[in-house]
Structure 1
């Protein structure tokens, strides 16, 4: 941020007075929370995004009734701006820009008319301006203005000199803000208690006893504060510039990497094609040689047998004729040779085949996963900035199994049921879901403050709310522990309650939470809880509830990475997955607390999520994520890459909330208002 060297005249003639949206001079400029200004009309024309937010979400935003908030993006910095009072209000006027625009008009409007003559029904060109009254005057009215007792000492200046810039500072000195409540009264003082500008009529008993000072005395404190903040910004600018240069270099390196990877993958494909062709040629040559050798042997056998057959036919024909027409002495003369030959033929063994060639082709497994294993895959883990690019997150990265089972192109719908209980007067809000060892489904009904247990086909088996001191306040999520008890997060009472499946209280874990939401277990059976207010994860002993460790969920620089976390799950390697409404939407930590991976940005496209809710992992490492506002389920490979959308709105999925896998390997999802759906996905 360089020190400005522009004069007031230069500033007024620059693009400083141009609206970033319409690119014209500001018309009623309004100051946005990001400190950029737009015309009031331009703000109204910007596209809106409207969202509905549940009672327990975004509670700090002070939303209007109905929990509906309108937003738009600033065209300068793309910041998401919430409309005041749910879209019905307006932003604060930028008085500084408004006054500079007025100065610009004084200097450039060629067709200004005398205000007094206009009031009298005449149209006369203005030749001067009263800086005190801000009135345009013709020559006659100017003379009259100088003759009245009230206005004779007013500073009246000619427009010809105004247009030449001779009175810029004088005009600025005479500009003042007017009170919105008391028309035409200038704001002359400042209440430091209310931090509000006041006109003389505003100083009512409402400000009695408050410290009200004039503007000159009020300015130093706030001027010093603002200048200090500007100074702090200046100290950050070099590092921001350096980071911009880093990002430019990073993008350039990524482009080079892209080209190299494209070349490498093409080379690999060509190499595999060559090897496949070579393997094919060898197999085909072997097929030819083996079959032709066997065919030659069979042909030799056939030829020999055909010769023998012909010989036998000749022998039989000769002997038949001999016996029919031969004389006794002729038969007896040859009987020895005939008997010997016929005896040989009777005892002769055929020179046939002792074995038969059985040849076939057994194709290798050609699944997509096997092909990817053979071809290779990208290693695109997010390496923390500052580490060597060659540093590997050995043991921490999400691992992909080389032989994953194939997922159905379309998940097969099995059944659906409504998770209704008894004596309920509020809509069902099934925020949590887990599965018992018997494949019974445990549901948290947040708004009815119940835990409900259904069998695998949707029959209600049990419901409970706790009793006396152990009564459930506002539950959110649930997990089934190794001993088949049920652990529930209660963010109203800031604790975890453990019950048997009959509803008997076993244990309360408290003193560690401010707003516990998601809950799960790891491979050791330890309880993991994500706290959205403290933005951290705690790990507890399932028997005593004692704290084992706290995971602060920080990056390498010590910055909190969790913003508004909801649900939590673990992988088979005990990596921790947390869904977060702030992008990236899924944060991954190891059990030592190191931030190792992330997934998802904010939006509606692939690998984008509008509001991530439930998350779970199946026995093969597939990861399932509920995208509540996009009405879909993301299916991720174990390495965190999007495999497909398992379910979307076209599959009748509506505002999915909690997700889980049954003991039989079926995928389960709860929907807003209580519907539970089961699918077969493998």
Structure 2
């Protein structure tokens, strides 16, 4: 129960959601979410804004030291140290009891007792050699039950690696943590979890994978069909666009041709009207010019008679001058439409 509680605390509070590993130099963002310093530095780079991977809140920070200037999460660091110390205290009695285990072969109890692959198959120093000759395979490794001796030989490995090397029916599979466990040595750590034979679990998982594979292949086929339909629709649409563009260009060409023809016709009509109008205007100009010259001549003659003529000369031409002036005064300048 304590192991499960420690595991839950570690998973929920002591694991960085970026690297999925234990916190290293935990830093707190303005949104109060915590991540490793190096994870944040790799994610941010040279930018001055950071987007929280958990809540997606964008925060702006202005520190000379960059991410290093963010506040440290001392609570997470202290909790991590407490969990680690508690784990070491729980493991210490197990190591001391293992150092006085009974040899499986001869029944002797010795501080030099050794065991294989984290199992309870303890062997004393005298029985190790015979076990290597009779039972040990190249895939098995020998570990010292004494913590100092084991550390000196550098033979500490993860539970996953050691149990995966078993080739006997003592190896089980834990469905809860998805790992191989040993029936003899590590089963106590998985009491509250579900166990099954490796082959049985593998067959069941294979069946489930095959069922999922069939469904996924159907989905993939539907996606491929949909992709083909979209590509066909795209080609049809492109062809329709090209045809419509050609129609628009043809309509524009015809419209331009019609406009040009109408322009030429109107210009011809305007030129014909201009020619006729010019001829009429020239005739009117000539008529007005003749009439104006006649009136102006009569006025000039009358003015010279009255200004320069003698009384006898005025009386001699007075009737003629008056007649001419009467006729000119009745003349009207021609009007034109």
TM-score normalised by L of structure 2? 0.45
Which structure carries more helix by proportion?
Answer: 2
Which structure carries more strand by proportion?
Answer: 1
Larger radius of gyration, structure 1 or 2?
A: 2
TM-score normalised by L of structure 1? 0.24
